[in-house]
Amino acid sequence: MHRLSRRSALVTGMALLATACATRPELSLSDEVWPGLETLLAVTAGREGLTVRVVSKGCAMRADFVFRVDRSNGRAVVAFARRRLETCQFGEPGFVDLVFSYAELGLRRGERVMVANPVRP
């Protein structure tokens, strides 16, 4: 019978911990339409949180957005909305990427997540 050395046990434990930390929620987009939600240019699930790309005239900030998370049918449904409209005029409309951590969204590792907002690249 093979016994693990202390070093082998430590390395194995660290590898398992790293794997658990790397697990992120499973992201999908909704095919339903909810009027009034901000249209996103993109949404990605990163290691630490969701990144949403929105249209911006140059002054959109993360504080201008709110989110809501509802749970149903074994998944979390996340919706993003602007708290206030942009009124600045700094040139051509572009985009800004906003990051929301899984912790602040209340999402758990490995959880099924659906974004309710329409996404149009």
Q: At residue 24, what are phi and psi to the nearest 5 degrees? A: -120, 160
- Can you tell me the distance from the alpha carbon of 25 to that of 28, in angstroms, rounded to the nearest whole number? 10
CA 63 to chain centre: 16
- Can you tell me the distance from the alpha carbon of 49 to that of 98, in angstroms, rounded to the nearest whole number? 10
**What's this model's pTM, rounded to 2 decimal places?**
0.71
What digits encode the pLDDT tens for the residues 55-96? 998 888 899 999 999 998 889 999 999 988 887 876 778 899
What digits encode the pLDDT tens for the residues 37-65? 889 999 999 999 999 999 998 888 899 99
